[in-house]
Amino acid sequence: MTGDAVVREVGRPKVFWWQVLRVAFVLGWVAWAALTWWVSPREGTLDDARADLTAGRVTTYEWGRGWSDATGLFSPGRPQLESADTDGPVFLWNTGDGRQHYITVPGGVPADVVDPAAQPRSVTPEGESLAAALRVFHAHDGPEAWPVGTLISGLSLAGVILFLWALVSASAPPAGGTRWFWFWLVGTAPLGLGLLWWLTRERPWSSRAPVREKRFKWWAGIGFGFLATLVLSLVLWGLHSLLGDALVPRVS
């Protein structure tokens, strides 16, 4: 009984602002996750691309060779396209509502679509069809884009700063793992899952945080983060295959 009372006394936040900060963390994560889901690239069709380009709904577009992987809180967000010339084969376009769509166009489009002085080359019929829509797009001004990317970056930066401040400034040491353990777990676990675990199971957030006799070390944080990435990748792969891009977009 005495030991349990000591744990509760040490683990209980002494300042009301810890609870306010906890709520801010959760709300910020929900907003970040929702915005990231909204702007994550979704596969479209050639007809979708042509329709958006000719109707003036496209703000920007780019070509890429493939996708890079998403990581944890310190490098969060949606997968990034590895840039390429107009030979692609991945064509990604952004619409005014902040959404992204992509298609695969083997061979891309003629280089003179972007640079009239470029040497023309033969492409597939799909490439020629997309090139015609791109010429229409270049002839008009596109719409203003929603600042969704700026909001995501701002939430990510604020989350990192607040996390580091809370990790260092908490008076009671972490109960389940060292500060370096939580640093690496939050930094490597995907989609902010390490942050949610920290807010649920650790001081100063939880008054019932169990004290481990041997707290997890820094290398355990990296290991758990890697394991979480592996498990979540398999889960999302299955959900993506089952539900498709509309509900479970590409995340890695």
Mean pLDDT rounded to a whole number for the chain: 81
Q: Does the pLDDT of residue 76 top 50, yes or no?
A: no
Q: What is the dihedral of CA 174, 177, 7, 162, to 10 degrees?
A: 30
Report whether the peptide linkage leading into residue 79 is cis, meaning its omega lies within 30 degrees of zero: no
Residue corresponding to tokens 């679509």: 113
What is the domain partition of the chain in residue ranges?
2-37+148-243, 41-138
* 17-67 confidence digits (pLDDT tens): 778 888 999 999 999 999 989 988 899 999 999 999 999 899 999 998 887
Q: Return the H-helix or E-strand segment holding 43.
A: strand 42-43
Q: What is the pTM of this model?
A: 0.77
> Cβ of 154: how many Cβ atoms within 10 Å?
13
- Alpha carbons 92 and 47: distance in angstroms, whole number: 14
pLDDT digit string, tens, across residues 238-248: 888 888 888 88
Which stretch of 6-20, 121-135, 167-181 has the lowest confidence by average pLDDT?
Answer: 6-20
Between the alpha carbon of residue 56 and those of residues 39, 81, 94, 126, 148, the distances in Å are: 19, 23, 11, 20, 19
**Residue-level pLDDT at 3:** 46
Looking at residue 14, its pLDDT comes to 52
> How much is the pLDDT for 181?
93
